[in-house]
Structure 1
């Protein structure tokens, strides 16, 4: 990737030089151009600025900004309607201060629009500063124990902060408990963050969690802050905060002996844990001002390490593919011959959509083919044989369009087709002859964050499921995406589109109409917050009546 005139500038610098030849400009034949910057280390980026190519008719008028720690798994920076306004000529500098800084090593600029009378060209400057990070890597069988100087620790105020990233939807991040009945547990559960906190209530029949966030197993960094004073608690995940009052009769949290991070070890049984351990990376872990990971790195006696905890963040061997459009994006893999005959396929997927094709392949003997798809939120496998004949099996009653990762195992060996979803019993189709794959396997699952993502992949107008707040606590909602040449409209439908006849309305007894939208109030707010412009249309049709009762004007 051409990186000419792309610079890293510390936060004390305020502008980039307007003189200097060159700039980045892709080949005209490049259908999907982008400019990628490698900052050589993780930095805290606070602003970006662009110019066009020097002394030319080449500039970018709007673009997307993506960031990544690895250069493989990318996340879009959420800025107003998603896109950044660029340049209107080749020399003027357009700078954007980021509303929230990002800590990243790689940046990617994706041009969306450019000078129609020229071509696209970029000079880029990045503003920010170095980022200090103490990182610990947990392998799912390890933890760090912070041991107190006394038998128990009693606090009326706690501040706990950390950042984490993981590909696992389950795992304990933090745990402590006391003989009085107090406890604090922070864990990932179904890719959401759950906080259990109790101050002295001994006879509680069940533990109740406060949950926040969603899809937190996306292998991107997420920040967590727990602030407690007496029984008042603030839990913040990324930019979302929930206030609550904890259970119990006391004002202090009393924890015996130690706090554990990454898991809950079973006393007297090293390497044995009560709950599923966290598998991933934690950085800048602070407990009431104490840097836990720094103590562990320096082998201080307060910290005891269980299992294999390392102090650099390993990258996963598996990287997820995102399919933004069921009609224009897919993954093709060549079939490999098997000495035993038949074939087996294993993969994971997640989606919000109730319908979509996951896998298809043509088979020998012809003209057979195999299709695995999501239909009405269930997984269905279809073997198409000659003519209109086909055999089908489905999996379980649980919906698979819940945004969580699901494991699929498909095996066509030993004269049967076996389909296994997660830990459910296998569903089978008996065969008369051994099947062989002919050609390639075609994969295509769907996961969409917004109507804008559909437009960028060339999708036409239609109904789609979107996730309006990204990793926030809200689930998906169905909207109508109206793709126009100028912009993308996200249309949230309601139940009152037909004309409503109004009789006898007056200021004393006004007519009231209630609208039930397809999205909740919180989802509507998230859509509005991320939109450049919003509008609502009300059509009023009446004879010999004034809408606003303005005196001196004739009625229509």
Structure 2
């Protein structure tokens, strides 16, 4: 199996590299989960959210996974999700084409099911989550597996918003017909400059994050003879502010440019007539040292981590580590950190029909303070519910039509309802803070202190001892949670109750609170509308697990706006009963790329 990045990675690992949420018994421990082994891993029957974890001890480039069931048994996994990350407490799922994170598993114990990933990713830790398994003949969860890949050398630098460097071209100029640029990044910020360079002839190369999407601006030069604007913009990806690594490559051959982030590629032919990229002096990484750069509008410096920045074969961060004189830093810059400083947020995903998270709070306090962040595509869903002490009623936060609705119900009083925020179901992180005391409620969205929503009304507040997030428990509903809203599907993080942060590790180990159908340590949100699956400029809208194409005013219909609503010719209209001459809209290639247009049809016999 050895070859270019196809090495099996588990044979050299010690038994301690395999961890699991539980084991069926000693003979089904985590370290027996090796492909072709004589046993396999199985969790305890009482384990409601089983997982198997592998510590690779260094960073690898991962290209494939293979699974079997437990040896000589009826135990095998039929479907699963694979999480990966740099740390064992911060995960992201491998996403297949189409936005699905569920991988198909086995149908017996002995045959090997292999998945070759359609894009390679890097990881130091892997977590296997069984989602379905054989239940016939007394079967249960059982797995043996192998991971394939190769060692990955990482050159990393942390950026804090005022860090930057420049790679000086060897002869103060760079003139290229072809370019190959690679850069990996992770960040929590929606905006930031990744790369920039320009030339005296008007050539420009800029790579930036804007609203969590990746933008490439490139110009091979403009000519006063040919009145064609040379600047070309290409965009790819979305939700790239998730604090996980994203892998970017730019490949240019003359005017042909391909921009790839992770598994998504967009291509363009550059405007203008030129084929060479002429740049002067340097290329900036993470921000510009000289602020008066002519072709660079005011842009935020990058905040986060950059890894393996290669510019036409030049390892820029590696050169910086080696203190190469071709690398220039601004004067009085802080000490450079050649490591990635992660802000560990530990998000969790509400992904099931009956998901919830129940947490304790301080009972009978005269002030209530709850704060959390969420992200979702759904229009509706329960965010938070609590029941006041002394039978004083309930307070509910719900997502409805893209805003947060607050409902306060107290015995013998009119239900108090009000909304805050706008388009909060856009997939980005949003902060909600609720402060309540007698006769007074304040709601702050996205920490906008300038415009908090304040409601004054006669009511009493005595905090209850339970707070429920995401949905009401169907069984053992000790919080007496009641709602007409659907379960919330999305992600949350950084929950504060009574101004104290919630320790998700304690929740995970069942020492504090309770939960159901949650993925802890990861946000599994997927953008199914990027790239747009709707053809012919149809508008894509999405929910947590599906998307819908709006085909109005496109001239097409069907699930992805693929079928033309018009006939391909005048003859087709006449064959379908249109006997009068006049203006008709035809679509000669039907579902092809040509747009419909209007013609005058002179029908035969009229």
> 2:395, 2:406 within 8 Å by CA — same for their partners in 1?
yes
**Farther-moved stretch of structure 1 (225-234 vs 210-219):** 225-234
**Farther-moved stretch of structure 1 (97-106 vs 126-135):** 97-106
Q: For residues 167 and 59 of structure 1, what CA distance do their matches in structure 2 show?
A: 38
How many pairs does the alignment contain? 472
Classify 1:414/1:438 alpha carbon distance in 2 versus 1 (closer, same or farther; 3 Å).
closer
Q: For residues 245 and 83 of structure 1, what CA distance do their matches in structure 2 show?
A: 36
2:214 aligned to 177, 193, 203, which one? 193
1:114 aligns with 2:114: no
> Which residue of the partner structure matches residue 362 of structure 1?
387
Deviation at 1:434, TM superposition (A): 6.6
> Which residue of the partner structure matches residue 259 of structure 1?
283
Q: For residues 162 and 338 of structure 1, what CA distance do their matches in structure 2 show?
A: 53
> 1:59, 1:122 within 8 Å by CA — same for their partners in 2?
yes
Q: For residues 541 and 140 of structure 2, what CA distance do their matches in structure 1 show?
A: 38
> Which residue of the partner structure matches residue 168 of structure 1?
189
Q: TM-score, normalised by structure 2?
A: 0.68
Classify 1:286/1:447 alpha carbon distance in 2 versus 1 (closer, same or farther; 3 Å).
same
Deviation at 1:285, TM superposition (A): 0.9
Classify 1:236/1:511 alpha carbon distance in 2 versus 1 (closer, same or farther; 3 Å).
farther
CA deviation digits over 1:24-63, x for unaligned, max 9?
A: 1212222332222221222122332333323333333443
Q: For residues 113 and 511 of structure 1, what CA distance do their matches in structure 2 show?
A: 53
Classify 1:257/1:409 alpha carbon distance in 2 versus 1 (closer, same or farther; 3 Å).
farther
3-state SS, counterpart of residue 295 of structure 1: helix
3-state SS, counterpart of residue 322 of structure 1: strand
1:219 aligns with 2:219: no
Matches within 5 A, 1:263-342: 263-267=287-291, 274-305=298-329, 306-307=333-334, 309-325=336-352, 327-336=353-362, 342=367
2:158 aligned to 137, 141, 144, which one? 137
Deviation at 1:287, TM superposition (A): 0.8
CA deviation digits over 1:85-121, x for unaligned, max 9?
A: 4444434444443343332222222331225113232
2:369 aligned to 344, 364, 374, which one? 344
> Which residue of the partner structure matches residue 236 of structure 1?
260
Matches within 5 A, 1:509-528: 509-511=574-576
> 1:6, 1:124 within 8 Å by CA — same for their partners in 2?
yes
Deviation at 1:507, TM superposition (A): 7.2
Q: For residues 434 and 229 of structure 2, what CA distance do their matches in structure 1 show?
A: 42
Structure 2 gap ranges (5+): 1-19, 21-28, 471-487, 492-515, 519-524, 534-538, 552-556, 560-564, 578-590, 593-606
CA deviation digits over 1:160-204, x for unaligned, max 9?
A: 111212222111111223444332221111111111223334999
> Which residue of the partner structure matches residue 49 of structure 1?
66
Classify 1:160/1:407 alpha carbon distance in 2 versus 1 (closer, same or farther; 3 Å).
same
1:64 aligns with 2:84: no
1:36 aligns with 2:56: no
> Which residue of the partner structure matches residue 392 of structure 1?
417
Q: For residues 576 and 107 of structure 2, what CA distance do their matches in structure 1 show?
A: 50
Structure 1 gap ranges (5+): 8-15, 449-455, 459-465, 482-488, 513-520, 523-556
3-state SS, counterpart of residue 31 of structure 2: coil
What RMSD over aligned residues (CA atoms) do the two structures have, in Å? 4.0
Deviation at 1:291, TM superposition (A): 0.5
Classify 1:366/1:315 alpha carbon distance in 2 versus 1 (closer, same or farther; 3 Å).
same
> 1:136, 1:309 within 8 Å by CA — same for their partners in 2?
yes
Classify 1:163/1:399 alpha carbon distance in 2 versus 1 (closer, same or farther; 3 Å).
same
> 2:206, 2:218 within 8 Å by CA — same for their partners in 1?
yes
Q: TM-score, normalised by structure 1?
A: 0.73
CA deviation digits over 1:66-92, x for unaligned, max 9?
A: 322222333333457754444444344
> Which residue of the partner structure matches residue 372 of structure 1?
397
> Which residue of the partner structure matches residue 477 of structure 1?
541
Deviation at 1:262, TM superposition (A): 1.3
**Farther-moved stretch of structure 1 (291-300 vs 62-71):** 62-71
**Farther-moved stretch of structure 1 (139-148 vs 249-258):** 249-258
> 1:50, 1:123 within 8 Å by CA — same for their partners in 2?
yes
